[in-house]
Amino acid sequence: MNPFQYRDNELYIEELPLTEVAAQHGTPLYVYSRQAIETAWHGYADALKDHGMVCYAVKANSNIGVLNLLARLGSGFDIVSVGELERVLTAGGDPSKVVFSGVGKQVDEIRRALEVGIHCFNVESVAELQRINEVAGTMDMQAPVSIRVNPDVDAKTHPYISTGLKQNKFGIDINSAEQVYALAASLAHINVIGVDCHIGSQITDVTPFLDALDRLLALIDRLAGKGIQIRHLDLGGGVGVQYQQDEPVVSLTDYVQQIVSRLGARALTLIMEPGRSIVANAGVLLTRVEYLKQNDEHNFAIVDGAMNDLIRPSLYQAWQDVKPLQLRTGTSHTWDIVGPICETTDFLAKGRQLVIEQGDILAIMDSGAYGFTMASNYNSRPRVAEILVDGQQTHVVRRREIFADLIAHEYLIE
Ligand SMILES: Cc1ncc(COP(=O)(O)O)c(C=O)c1O
Ligand SMILES: N[C@@H](CCCC[NH3+])C(=O)O
């Protein structure tokens, strides 16, 4: 479902012209579509049916309004910090549907997660397993755990977002997994319930997912042979999204059917932790052209948005489409869309064929995932507002920061 459509040369989100949203709330601005988020979530829930649970990966977009939408749908959540846990709770999420991933869980994070009763910890090392056992012991509890196994599968995605290879810090080597499960089963305050893996993000071919699945199922069978019964299988993040029109789209129904057919008679519940594919295509970053500047080789459109607002292009050379909110007629030129930050890597897009003028507003498409959540205050730039559109209604789900917010926790020397 694409909520962004041109009508009479004006770009709309759902039932609203984006120029109206920008006029009301200023730029730069993140704008999300409620319908698109809900439709994407239902895509997973419908494909999984009663085979399992969707645990939305909060890191993709952790806005409380967005989490609240998903909590209302009954979603579970994948978190990587106590901060994300508090967001989920504030948004009305059910702690018993929360899985806790991440390689560096701290004692207070483990304690809080046990206190609120999360579904399980996805454990990434022996040292972490021992720490969880100790903390649960001090609380006289048993901690539900799943071991995150690193299956050594090449996800064929950008090397910075590939996580399931031996050279990546994530998970426990599949070759030592049985030993670690045996240890976990022997610990007094650990309750082994699952197997987990996450091989990377923005994967647009199901083959690496299915290769990882085959390795995990073989492990689950070996564990059963040793008397360790696994109840759930967590396959990690969701499928990749289309940033460019010629990129492949994975059918979730086919993907889940292939998983289910491989499960065979095993009594396993599935968990999926999609982030990007729930929110990426549902959001845009709006940015205004402040100046146009040309030399004999390059045309620069200097905009008010920057790498601190959306770092994906600078960090991963990620390509995201750029659409003017109002289409102009005239001769197009090739533009680099650059921000005001003092870094050469401060660009949102390069080499785009556009007809633009100073003052125009551009939408950086597909910015709903890993957009605002990766934003910073670099160059003392306040983080921008986030707006959720629902039909013709707009909800401010985060107000724009002001200078006072930036210095609120800083002090002069005494
Ligand atoms: C452990 C874990 N689960 C889920 C996700 C979400 O992945 P995606 O946004 O590709 O669906 C990530 C991010 O890559 C992750 O690290
Ligand atoms: N932040 C990355 C994805 C990382 C996923 C987190 N493990 C991106 O924008 O593509």
Q: State yes or no: cis peptide before 144, omega within 30 of 0.
A: no
For 291, residues 6+ apart whose C-beta sits below 8 A from its C-beta are: 301, 302, 358
For residue 246, the CA-to-ligand 1 centroid distance in Å is 23
Q: Is the pLDDT of residue 166 over 90?
A: no
Q: Judge if 16 and 125 occupy the same domain.
A: no
Q: Name the 3-class secondary structure at 270.
A: strand
> Does 123 lie in the same domain as 267?
yes
Position 127 confidence tier, pLDDT thresholds 50, 70, 90: very high
pLDDT band at 283 (very low <50, low <70, confident <90, very high): very high
Distance 162 CA to ligand 1 centre (A): 10
pLDDT recorded at residue 169: 80
The band of 400, judged by pLDDT with boundaries at 50, 70 and 90, is very high
**Listed residue (230, 69, 95) closest to 149, CA to CA:** 230
State in Å: Cα 31 to ligand 2 middle. 20
CATH code at position 147: 3.20.20.10
Distance 85 CA to ligand 1 centre (A): 16
Q: For residue 218, is pLDDT > 70? A: yes
Supply the pLDDT for residue 343.
96
- Do 289 and 264 have their domain in common? no
CA distance 197 to 78: 13
Q: Which amino acid is at 282?
A: A
Q: What ipTM score was computed for the predicted complex, to two decimals?
A: 0.98
17 and 113 share one domain: no
- Residue 274 marked as a ligand binder: yes
Counting residues of the chain whose pLDDT is more than 90, the rounded percentage is 94
Whether 134 and 259 map to the same domain: the answer is yes
Active site residue ranges: 342
Confidence band for 46, pLDDT divided at 50, 70 and 90: very high
Confidence of residue 152 (pLDDT cuts 50, 70, 90): confident
Are 340 and 220 contained in the same domain? no
Any domain includes 90: no
pTM given for the model: 0.97
Q: Which residues contact 226 (CB under 8 A, 6 or more apart)?
A: 178, 181, 182
Report if residue 94 sits inside a domain. Answer: no
Residue finishing a domain among 255, 272, 289: 272
The runs of H, that is alpha helices, within 106-186 are 107-116, 126-138, 177-186
Is residue 262 marked as binding?
no
Of 55, 58, 59, the residue with max ligand 2 atoms within 8 A of its CB, to mutate for a pocket test, comes to 59
Asked if 4 and 13 touch (Cβ cutoff 8 Å), the reply is yes
Please state the rounded mean pLDDT for residues 25-34: 98
Within-domain flag for 62: no
Provide, for the chain, the percentages of residues in helix, strand and coil under a 3-state DSSP scheme, each rounded to the nearest 5. 35, 25, 40
* Domain membership flag for residue 394: yes
Alpha-carbon span 29 to 34, nearest angstrom = 16
Range of the domain at 173: 102-272
Query: Are residues 200 and 252 located together in one domain of the fold?
Result: yes
Please name the residue whose Cα sits nearest to atom 1 of ligand 2. Answer: 370
- Asked if 266 and 341 sit in the same domain, the reply is no
In-domain check, residue 339: yes
Residue 96 lies in a domain: no
- Determine, yes or no, domain membership for 85: no
Mean pLDDT of 328-346: 97
101 CA closest ligand 1 atom index: 1
In the prediction, which pLDDT does 162 show? 65
Mean pLDDT computed over 266-286: 98
Mean pLDDT of the chain: 96
Structure confidence at residue 155 (pLDDT): 77
The answer to whether residues 303 and 265 belong to one domain is no
Of 36-45, 154-163, 304-313, 382-391, minimum mean pLDDT range: 154-163
Mean pLDDT of 245-257: 92
User: Which residues have any ligand 2 atom within 6 Å of their CB?
Assistant: 59, 161, 201-202, 312, 316, 370
Provide the pLDDT for residue 161.
Answer: 63
Q: Are residues 157 and 265 both part of a single domain?
A: yes
Domain count, the chain: 2
Predicted confidence (pLDDT) per residue in 48-61, tens digit: 999 999 999 999 99
Residue 46, in any domain of the structure:
no
Same domain, 149 and 253: yes
Q: Which mutation among 55, 161, 243 tests ligand 2's pocket best, with the greatest number of atoms within 8 A of CB?
A: 161
291 is in an annotated binding site: no
As a whole-number percent, the residues of the chain with pLDDT over 70 amount to 98
Average pLDDT, integer, range 123-149: 97
Is residue 361 within 8 A of residue 286, CB to CB? The reply is: yes
Task: Please report, for residues 32, 40, 49, 100, 252, the alpha-carbon distance to residue 45 in angstroms, rounded to integers and kept in the order given.
Answer: 20, 9, 6, 20, 10
CATH of the domain at 347: 2.40.37.10
> What is residue 252's three-state secondary structure?
helix
Summarize the confidence of residues 162-173 as an average pLDDT.
Answer: 76
Does position 164 have pLDDT exceeding 80, yes or no?
no
Residue 163: per-residue pLDDT: 67
